[in-house]
Amino acid sequence: MDHLYLQVAERIQAMIEKEVIRIGDKLPSVRSLSKEQGISMSTVFQAYYHLESKGYIEPRPKSGYYVRFSPRRLPEMPKSCRPVKKATEVNVSDMITEVFYHLSPDDVLRFSVAAPHESQLPAAKLSKSLIQAMRSLPANGTSYENLQGNMNLRRQIARLSLQWGGTITEEDIVTTTGCMDALTLCLSATTQPGDVIALESPAYCGTFQLAESLGLKVLEVPTNPVYGVDLEYLDKAIPKFKIKACVFVTNFNNPIGSCMPDKNKRELVRLMNKYDIPLIEDDIYGDTYFGKTRPSSCKQYDRTGNVLYCNSFSKSLAPGYRVGWTMPGKYKDKVLRLKLNHSVSSATLPQAAIGHFLENGRYEHHLRNIRTLLHTQCLRYQQAIADYFPEDTCVTRPQGGYVLWLELNQRVNTIELYEQAMKRRISFAPGRIFSLQDRYNNCLRISFANPWSKQVDDGLKTIGKLVHQALR
């Protein structure tokens, strides 16, 4: 059950969202709300601090707390993209390389990185798990790991699957070197060069690079920023374009942030079975939800082994450990053969360390903290965009994950905007890199992974000014 201060904060937040209390209105004093609700002044202070961190209210010296922002002030949502006429040969732009090149310099304000900030990771506790793993493993972890992966880690992942309704065992899981390795193995197991695969549009640029390396063609499927892939379009497109596999991020898609409702996930699995083609489900952001419960996965509704589920700890716990996994269903034997040919096994120590971390119950505590931080940061970024960007800017409202998708005026070219921002040591991801078509030139992806700070606020203000300048 939530702490009492959170219950109080949620009641006030609901009143702000319904505009029972409006921007500029003064909230009851701490003392009066304490008496009215029969709660301690400390609880009221905690509730107000919580709402202040989310950007809903602000303190004014010697005056009290006032409503600062209402979600009704947020910009409009972007629309779904238009359908395409044909599958496309993959020829990934140099722009992807350019953006990824600027992921590491410390002097760049990186709104381009959709991964947890190092300050939000439990580094000390992970180090303890790493040391414990080294002590307990044969030869201190210098030997090759089992081909299928560390047994304890697989057992702990199977336990985690209970949160989204999974009924798997450690024998259903194959560990990988991150989620991209899992996607590579699953795509290699289910397709041949020249095949057509379906991706969301917009889609993560790294998946285009993967498709290119495997010699695949891509059909981009229209995707709504709230409920995800257009299933009616997909139903017609599969036979028309002879699609051999689908690769979808069902929860908090990168870059558009959509989360497919349960009924759509069930329908998607039904479609895959209808046409007897595999679904490769990338659920790497599923644990970073903002609501009360974790969203389900398509794998939960899979009864035939046709869903190849892929995930990792890179977006939730330890990006640098590169520990991922797949539940490849009926393709398990083929995936294991491919893994043997590609890498023999995954790194021993990182797998054992994360297995130990999960076994000791530390993961869920960490997730609760990082989800709260991400939700707060998401709200603050949305508010800053509403304040600093032109009024016709459209912004997504994700319920999890790390990214916001912005649709600007058609006159703004975000590749040119990116170049101007980089001169000021600010990086974001231009929309054009998330499609093989000539589209999303007026869009961009901003990650809210960086903790809210004056530097972040100034950076968003600078991008907003550059957008205004581009419209002059």
DSSP category for residue 139: G
Residue 107 has pLDDT above 90, yes or no: no
Question: Of 68-77, 123-132, 377-386, which gets the smallest average pLDDT?
Answer: 68-77
Higher pLDDT, 98 or 42: 42
pLDDT, one tens digit per residue, over 177-216 is: 999 999 999 999 999 999 999 999 999 999 998 999 999 9
Is the pLDDT reported for residue 25 higher than 90?
no
pLDDT band of residue 1 (cuts 50, 70, 90) is very low
Render pLDDT for 30-54 as a digit per residue (tens, 0 to 9).
888 888 888 898 999 899 988 988 8
- Cis check: omega of the bond before 202, within 30 degrees of 0: yes
What distance in Å separates the CA atoms of residue 360 and residue 378, rounded to the nearest whole number? 30
Strand residues in 25-127 grouped as ranges (E) = 57-60, 64-67, 88-89, 109-110
Q: HEC string of 107-124?
A: CCEECCCCCCCHHHCCHH
Range name among 65-74, 87-96, 175-184, 233-242 with the lowest pLDDT average: 87-96
Grade residue 93 by pLDDT with cuts at 50, 70 and 90: low
φ, ψ for residue 250, nearest 5 deg: -80, -25
pLDDT tens by residue, 392-432: 999 999 999 999 999 999 999 999 999 999 999 999 999 99
In this predicted structure, the answer to whether residue 256 has a pLDDT above a threshold of 60 is yes
The torsion defined by the Cα of 126, 141, 323 and 297, in degrees rounded to 10, comes to -90
- The per-residue pLDDT for 216 is 96
What's the chain's average pLDDT?
Answer: 90
Give φ, ψ of 226 to 5 degrees: -105, -60
Closest of 444, 376, 380, 378 to residue 409, by C-alpha: 444
What is the rounded CA–CA span in Å between residue 274 and residue 305? Answer: 14
Give this prediction's pTM: 0.87
Q: What is the pLDDT of residue 138?
A: 83
Backbone region of residue 90 per phi and psi (left: phi > 0; alpha: psi in -120 to 50; beta: other values): beta
Task: Find the mean pLDDT for residues 251-263.
Answer: 96
User: What is the rounded distance in angstroms from the CA atom of residue 148 to the CA atom of residue 173?
Assistant: 7
